[in-house]
Amino acid sequence: MATIDDARTVECDVRTDEMLINMGPQHPSTHGVLRLLLRTDGEIVSWVEPHIGYLHRCAEKIGENLTARQWVPYTDRMDYLAGMNMNLGWALAVERLLGLSVPDKVRHVRVLMAELNRIASHLVGMGTYGLDLGSFTPFLYAFREREKILDLFEEVCGARLTYSYIVPGGAAGDLPGGWLDKCTRFLDEFWPVIDDYHTLLTNNAIFIKRTAGIGVLPAALAIEYGCTGPVLRGSGVDQDLRRDGDAWYTAMYRDYRFHVVVQKDGHYPQDHAYPAVPAEAVLGDSWHRYYVRMLEVVQSVDIVRQALEKYQAAEDEWSTPIKVNHRLPEGEVYLETEAPKGQMGFYLVSDGTAIPWRTRARSSCFANLSVTSELCQGCLLADVPAIVGSLDLVMGEIDR
Amino acid sequence: MAEFFAETWALPAPAAYALAGLIHCALLLGIVATGAMGFIWLERKVSGRIQDRLGPTRVGGKFGWLQSLADGIKLLSKEDLAPQEADRLLFRAAPYISFSASYTAYLALPFAPGWVAFDTNVAVFFILAVLGLEVFGVILGGYASGSKWSLFGAMREAAQVVSYEVPLGMCVAIPVLLTGTMNLTTIAQMQAGWFTNWLIFHDPFTFVAFWVYAACALASVNRAPFDLAEAESELVAGFLTEYSGLRWSYFFMAEYGSMLLVGGLAALLFFGGWNGPVPIFHSLGWAYAPDETAWRLTGFLSNLAGCMNFLTKAVLGVLVMMWARWTLPRLRIDQVMSMCLKYCIPLAAFCFVGVLGWQALGVASPNDWLPAARGGAIAVRETWWWQEAAAAPAGRAGRGDESGVGADTGDVVGGTARRARIAEGAGGAG
């Protein structure tokens, strides 16, 4: 039988060559320095391979040459969009090794910071996702509100991006006077703006067309690849470490009320005020991953409000963080926390000196990125940014 | 203008024509180039306002009005780069092809009665054909760049623009069908009178056809949400990836030039061209009659106001394009193509057939039933209240007949009668 390769075959479809093409590391929509190697047939992408390591800064190795307190600034630079959450993960891990628990006042400030940073991170995730889909304006609207959060952080710790605020044994300092009012004012201003975001993106017909049904990640596959955070919850898996995590971590949120944002019976918790799930959307697609983030912002606002109340009610003293040369007890500890992008784990082995013998960070984005090749198979070229953007990757955390 | 030079300076005919041609070209180049610069500034300002920013504020004092000029100087002073892999000749030629296509199309675009470089009776056809050439520059540029991203951009442009030419052509054919001429000047003159005479309000089909035209025009000039050829989040910058400096700015000027062009075409075909919503100059008797050639001040003023009307409408169209660009996400290539095939072409064809039926059956235009329209049509001939004291009605009527443009009898006039009357007007102007 004559095949397409047979020279004698005269009549056949025009055979097109596959093209190998590099998306990144310098590309507008790879969120930093991700390099995607694409094999495309025209517009159809047949194979995707992510290449990483362009932002590798040996953070883990550096951690084995610094004391636990000294390594805090390096955790900032992992997920630089959620520095507070990175600090928190490391601080909790070290505290667990030391068996050190912080007073309630510090605990509530930590919750406050972690949730505010979660809002900021999700805002960037939402804004850049709009950018990936060719819509420029939501990005600036998101950054406008994020600026206000950064202003709040700046007032607390002097930094706008790399905070090093939450440290083992407490936090760098108590909240300045008048800060609580400013935070409340921000939340009041932010609340109506959320509706704008939904009008601009969530409800936009083109946005739905571009994201619904694109990059469907089934729950089983998500678990298999170790996906966590909004990516996992977007696939309908009810898992949030703030509720289900290690007792050492969940203790931080012990008297807080919040919902884990995951779809149950076709509905998200408290989604009545927000756009309904469009008919085209399939559980686990890009739209759901995006929507989970948007609803988590709402939950975080709620948690921040509770934290503000609890902080004012807390009567205990502010604690002193550990010293720079604080000796760690011999042993090992691993603690995972729910960072905005997923489960961020810190592993620490100590040989009894002040400097850890081994430090390791479990990156959520790394696991989330690994699923790209599966999701992008057979999609169109324009879907690649739509899928990668919906995973909300930060290269600083993947490469460390 | 050529006759003017030939008579006053006693130049030989070829020289007079060459001189007139040069002046026309320079004027148009001025309009296209300064228009593009103005639009680049406007785009910055509009996007700034939409995005809760200020846009440029420093360069040139207030409102940053010199920003585009500063940009131009920056682009001029950039190194002229061509990639190693590029096909040098095509790479260099492509921006000029794009720009000249966009620029040449302006030749047939009338800004006011008689204010047109090249008054041809196939103006609609000419503009569509020449504007279609712009895609060649993009395809060549993308192909010759020797970059895969550029090639993707060129492929998309080729697929998209060529497909959208079909419904665009159909939509443009609808006003041509109604007026029975391809002469843009005549088409616009026939929409004189109240705004109800504008072809978009002629019947439901033209109303729908305008929206189809708007979508297709957006796609054919490559603006968001159809800016797939330069989709920066997917293709880096598409066909523009390897371009920099002046060559890049030529593509840019071509894009803005085409934007104004399709905006102007929409104004001429659907929104009455230079005719304002209220026929002030016609009722004053200042406007030129279709066959009038002698210069007079009142006519000039009427033309000037008409030109402003026309530009306002065209710029409004461009503003809407900018608004869409800064609001909407981008469609995907398959969605763009299926939108063309599934919605635009059938809708355009439906409207075309509908208008055909409307004309063939001689159904009166709804705006003929409207009291305002009747008033409007009559207003061309009859007096305004402030004129009544000054002149006798008979004199007014006479003047109205003289200007005659789009003058309805005020009765319900069928399409056939309308066309017959219109054809007379066209003959006079053509």
B234 touches chain A (CB under 8 A): yes
Say if the Cβ atoms of A204 and B328 lie within 8 Å. Answer: yes
Cβ neighbours around A4 below 10 Å, total: 8
The amino acid at B87 = D
Residue A13 within any structural domain of the chain:
no
Q: Which long-range contacts (CB under 8 A, 24 or more apart) does A308-317 make?
A: A308/A112, A308/A180, A308/A183, A308/A184, A310/A104, A310/A108, A310/A255, A311/A105, A311/A108, A311/A109, A311/A112, A311/A175, A311/A180, A312/A180, A314/A103, A314/A104, A314/A105, A314/A108, A315/A105, A316/A103, A316/A104, A316/A105, A317/A103, A317/A105
Inter-residue contact A292 to A237 (CB < 8 Å): no
Residues A126, A145 contacting (CB under 8 angstroms): no
* B148 vs A contacts (CB less than 8 Å): 19, 21
pLDDT digits over B304-315, tens only? 888 888 989 988
Torsion of CA B179, B181, B182, B185, to 10 degrees: -80
Q: What percent of chain A lies above the pLDDT cut of 70?
A: 96
pLDDT at position B394? 41
If you measure CA to CA, which chain B residue comes closest to A385?
B234
Percent of chain B surpassing pLDDT 90: 3
A1 located within any domain: no
Q: Which among A371, A344, A293, A298 is positioned nearest to A125, based on CA atoms?
A: A293
User: Is pLDDT above 80 for A132?
Assistant: yes
B225·A134 Cβ contact <8 A: yes
Provide the greatest CA pair distance for chain A.
89
Residue B373 CA to its chain's centroid (Å): 25
pLDDT for res B412: 39
How are beta strands A19-23 and A44-51 bridged, if at all?
unpaired
Strands A358-362 and A342-350: antiparallel
Give the three-class secondary structure for A346.
Answer: strand
Q: Which pLDDT band holds residue B368 (cuts at 50, 70, 90)? A: low
Contacts of A43 in chain B (CB under 8 A): 152, 155-156, 333-334
CATH code for the domain of A149:
1.10.645.10
Task: Kindly determine whether residue A130 and residue B329, on different chains, have CB atoms separated by under 8 Å.
Answer: yes
Residue A11 lies in a domain: no
Contact between A136 and B331 using a beta-carbon 8 Å cutoff: no
B401, pLDDT greater than 60: no
- What residue in A sits closest to B324 (Cα-Cα)? A135
- Is the confidence at residue B392, as pLDDT, over 70? no
What are the two backbone dihedrals, phi and then psi, of residue B250, each rounded to the nearest 5 degrees?
-65, -45
In this prediction, residue A117 carries a pLDDT of 93
Inter-chain residue contact A140 with B329, CB threshold 8 Å: no
**Model confidence band, residue B413 (pLDDT cutoffs 50, 70, 90):** very low
Report the share of chain A in percent with pLDDT over 90. Answer: 26
Tell me the pLDDT tens digit for each residue of A40-83.
Answer: 887 888 888 898 888 888 888 998 999 988 999 999 888 888 88
Alpha-carbon distance of B277 to B274, in angstroms, equals: 10
Chain A residues with beta carbon closer than 8 angstroms to that of B327 = 135, 137, 200
Please name the residue of chain B whose CA is at the shortest distance from the CA of residue A381. Answer: B234
Q: How confident is the model at residue B386 (pLDDT cuts 50, 70, 90)?
A: very low
Nearest Cβ partner for B148 among A21, A144, A204: A21
**SS3 for A380?**
strand
What does the alpha-carbon distance between residue A31 and residue A36 come to, in Å, rounded to a whole number?
A: 12
Higher pLDDT, A5 or A189: A189
Q: Check: CB of residue A34 under 8 Å from CB of residue A49.
A: no
Other residues' Cβ atoms within 10 Å of the Cβ of residue A96: 20
Answer left, alpha or beta for residue A229, where phi above 0 means left and psi between -120 and 50 means alpha.
Answer: left
Domain span at residue A240? 19-399
| Each residue's pLDDT tens digit, B30-62 | 777 777 788 888 888 888 888 888 888 888 777
- Asked if residue B230 has pLDDT above 90, the reply is no
Supply the DSSP symbol for A285. S
Judge whether A162 and A73 are in contact, CB under 8 Å.
Answer: yes
* pLDDT for the residue numbered B382: 37
DSSP string over A13-78: PPPPPPEEEEE-SS-TTSTTT-EEEEEEETTEEEEEEEE--TT---HHHHHTSS-TTTTHHHHHTT
pLDDT at B393 over 60: no
- Residues within 8 A of A (CB atoms), B 155-194 only: 155-156
DSSP string, B100-153: HHHHHGGGG--SSTT--SS--TTHHHHHHHHHHTHHHHHHHHHHHTT-HHHHHH
- Structure confidence at residue A333 (pLDDT): 92
B20: distance to nearest CA of chain A, Å?
45
CB contact under 8 A, B332 and A42: no
pLDDT tens, position by position, A178-231: 899 999 999 999 988 888 888 888 888 888 988 988 888 999 999 999 999 899
Note the pLDDT of residue A92: 92
Contacts of A28 in chain B (CB under 8 A): 232-233, 236
- The confidence band for A148, taking pLDDT boundaries of 50, 70 and 90, is very high
Tens digits of residue pLDDT in A149-179? 999 999 998 888 889 899 998 888 888 888 9
Query: Across the interface, do A141 and B236 touch by the CB < 8 Å criterion?
Result: no
Total domains in chain A come to 1
Judged by CB atoms closer than 8 Å, whether chains meet at B331 and A209 is answered as yes
CA separation for the pair A60, A51 (Å, rounded):
20
pLDDT for A11: 52
Residue A395 is predicted with a pLDDT of 87
Tokens representing residue A92 in the block: 């909790």
Q: Is A131 exposed, middle or buried (0-12, 13-18, 19+ CB in 10 A)?
A: buried
CA distance B156 to chain A (A): 9
B104 to chain A, closest Cα gap in Å: 31
Shortest CA distance from A128: residue in chain B: B233
CA atoms within 13 A on the CB side of B173: 16
- Mean per-residue pLDDT, A231-254: 89
Residue-level pLDDT at B271: 87
For A199, which residue in chain B has the nearest alpha carbon? B327
Average pLDDT along chain A = 87
Average pLDDT over residues B157-172: 88
Is residue A12 situated within a structural domain? no
Q: How far is B390 from chain A (nearest CA, A)?
A: 56
- Residue to mutate among B151, B322, B332, B338, with most A CBs inside 10 A, is B332
At position A273, the amino acid (one-letter code) is A
| pLDDT higher than threshold 70 for residue A246 | yes
Average pLDDT over residues B364-368: 58
Structure-block tokens of residue B262: 């399709």
Strand partners, A41: A44
**Residues of chain A positioned with their CB less than 8 A from the CB of B335:** 209-210
Number of CB pairs, chain A paired with chain B, less than 8 A apart: 83
How many angstroms separate the Cα of A356 from the Cα of each of A62, A323, A326, B52?
A: 10, 15, 11, 48
A204 part of a folded domain: yes
Residue A2 lies in a domain: no
**Residue A234 pLDDT more than 50?**
yes
